[in-house]
Amino acid sequence: MDEHVIEAMGKAKIIVKDGKVVDVGDPQIDYCPIFHKYRGIEKLDSESIKDNIEFRINDFGMCSPERNLKMKDFLSFGISETISTLLEEKIVDCAVIVCDGAGTVLITDPEEVQGIGGRISGFMTTSPILRVIETLGESKVLDPVKASINQIDGTKKAIDKGFKNIAVTIASPEDAEKLRELEKSVNGINIYIFAVHVTGISEKEAQKLFDYSDVITSCASKHIREIGEKKALLKVGESIPIFAATENGKKFLLRRVEKIGGLKDKKNARSPEPLI
């Protein structure tokens, strides 16, 4: 039996077992502009969340052996899209991200970064799915036996494999700090840190993310927005802004903006409700 624990759609805790949604917790927010825009969901509750997770399972095989791992660039704007562009333009040579059914993975194909990361939410734990691991290639998976999620060890594996410019997604300030320490300890490598899944973090945690990350998505975080408005070198987007905390982060976001031909101004852009 495989089990996957996800925090998604307002950080509701969701458990998927053997391709079935078996438990959905209550979300911490009521409204997300992304799910309203793309899936027509006006209110987040356990029923709408269950329906959406089931849609993802049926649509692209999330948490199942039928997982579609590649997706073309739809010219939208987000963390996965930005990392895909950086891989495509050879600015980074590897991305350390999280994949359902495989855990922490090392990806060099821009379409795989988008196919894996662009369509899933925050996985807390996942279980190994043999076909997913075989499709990716076992050498790309940190832990093919347990599908563990460990972005620090994944980055160490990328360094051991000879990658020099590594993009890493993280969800905790502690991981961001450890990655900066790792970067300092190894000559000739650059680690670019992308903070995701930040809804509900404390002000102290948000500050720490700005201290150590390059790019930070705001999700439904009140504190990320407040600090970002004061400290960020660049803000992209209105409903769910993405902030550059470093010059590298600014360069990365501008490359993505250029790739998609600029961003249109949104009048009366609606944010997640409530911000927490």
Contact 243, 232 (CB under 8 A): yes
Q: Which residues contact 267 (CB under 8 A, 6 or more apart)?
A: none
SS3 content of the chain, % helix, strand, coil (to 5): 40, 20, 40
Which tens digits make up the pLDDT trace of 6-55?
999 999 999 999 999 999 999 999 999 889 988 899 999 999 999 999 99
Question: Is the whole model's pTM more than 0.95, yes or no?
Answer: yes
Q: In what order do the strands lie in the sheet with 3-8?
A: 20-24, 12-17, 3-8, 122-125
Query: How confident is the model over 213-229, as pLDDT tens digits?
Result: 999 999 999 999 999 99
Residue whose C-alpha is closest to residue 17's, from 35, 37, 2, 39: 2
Selection from 120, 124, 21 nearest residue 67 by Cα: 120
> What pLDDT digit, counting tens, does each position of 54-96 carry?
999 999 999 999 999 999 876 688 999 999 999 999 999 999 9
Question: In this prediction, what percent of the chain has a pLDDT beyond 90?
Answer: 90
